[in-house]
Structure 1
């Protein structure tokens, strides 16, 4: 999550992807200039009383990247290495993600520099409330709607929505999505990111002629999305999970990992490392495994020029944001590896968040089966729009996803008279 050179700076990567798309669509310089920069961003510093009685100042960000198609939407990260450029990049990707799924939303993102692993629940609550108090004037159900992201969860969203409701003097559940069900959360939100990715994997497998019931799967990153991806790949397709990893290391089993055992081990030890019935390997070795499907569910810049030549999977499922650099993208495309790009693959989360917004506004809630059906239709349609565009322009899937999404944002901008 570095602010360093262009190869590791996520916003520089996002800008390069936008510029490449602008060239494909032959956009004017003024139009591409609007797309290359966030429309507004907020930097906040807020004091928090810690459990030991001291007061610590935390730094947070909120970027509202582009709202041409509607209120901005995007998660909030708690991470010790959070940077404004990471938040800018994620806000840009959220803009294209919402447009790609044809949601009436723009893109945003937020973050707080902190390490949740070193904080008590009481400290987490005070940080959550402090952040919302700081950015409260700039968000709202018709302005900017946050959601969970890395190291944030439904409980943190509950504290945030309560704080915002206190600020405005009324219950305002629609200001946040990814909430617990009793506070207006949506059924199906918990596994939405992974489930949406599995719907696109199903369609991709048809295109490349892969039988998912016989497929081997490796999962890089075993947090919320990676854990659900493992369970869903088994239950939906009968695929065999042969390797998983987290920040502490990787484990493998050629005969197939028992997903419930790994989940129980991770719950108990906070890591997949040393799970019974598995062998240890490095994270780099996992990326180079000869598997049918490689799921990337960790952080940015996982596959780069440094390791792309070692990747042997037939399909890459990008549940993480920005896991592949532009340089690596070109190599994967030439190798014939089918990449389901991040802001298509992981759009299930924001799509069900949108469903949550609709349900909050109507005060009428759908059953989980109906959520799954609506999500399936949205993800399947988006996948085929991207695939068809890829074939039309003879470009990789990421560039095709950009072409579809950016053209929709540009159309909205033109209709509003911005460009």
Structure 2
């Protein structure tokens, strides 16, 4: 049960932060954000606030912010359509009844001749069976379509995604991944404030019971200053030598309470991801420092980003196979293992996944933020936008392929777990 709660919390947090970035910058740019969704598929829960419908959906495979103009409008009025109109106190149309007009007895029913809800905000037409006089009605900029008794706010052109400058559109698309990086920085800072930050020198924080280090006489707080006669000044230098020396005797000099102590330790052989490394069973020391904590947050985010980009590059060049990718099932299984090791490791895992989500979304593939940013960049270079229909087709195909990849990855996850 702890794993289920942890996974739901982690998934919800990562997706919420990502989509919240898209939402905030859409609203700042004056775009109409129709829906803020966590998950895909059927709605589980929803409410409306400040023009936006907030929903939680059944399938935990992501989320989205639906901005007006990114997809074809839900309702398209054409000449000959019969619609009902309801008006506000200013005499402007506040509701456009598309069907079930009998449920709105006070609505004025007309036959449409001309509609412009993008720029002029006007509806022209005739009373039913009375074509002597053409009527013209001004439409409120926040009017609603009513279809099957569901209300959908209209989107004048100045509230649509395409009406905004290249810079505002690019920022709205980039805001999601950016928020994932910011979340990782915040989590690493929280970790630093709670447990401290790693010291730069090779100082031991804890010696594991029954480890080669304990057998060699290592104690908590010792500092490694020499290995095989070579001076050691950083934790990285110390661990690199140990990792590269499995089952080899190493002469080490420790400093304890200002006194130098010489001992010999033999790193134990361990296999990790088909690699043979040496380990002696010690943990790095931590220190509490307010300034270093904030530096630690940025440094850890940077180092994790580099590591993920390196692995992504190896995947692209074929050094990693698709079998090594994980979907929701694989991430759940990994989360289960991390949760068993403690809350701090769970926080670090969440930060790493947040960075991973930000990076993956910036990959220039159709349907991802990176793919859409690519189209905005092409528009900036060409000086004119790509045909929206053609771009929509590309993103639709890209989304379908991503869903197919998700199915393949999920199947591989299930096989790894049960076969």
Same fold (TM over 0.5): no
Higher helix share: 1
Question: TM-score, length-normalised on structure 2?
Answer: 0.23
Structure with more contact order per residue of length (Cα contacts < 8 Å, sep ≥ 6): 1
TM-score by length of 1: 0.23
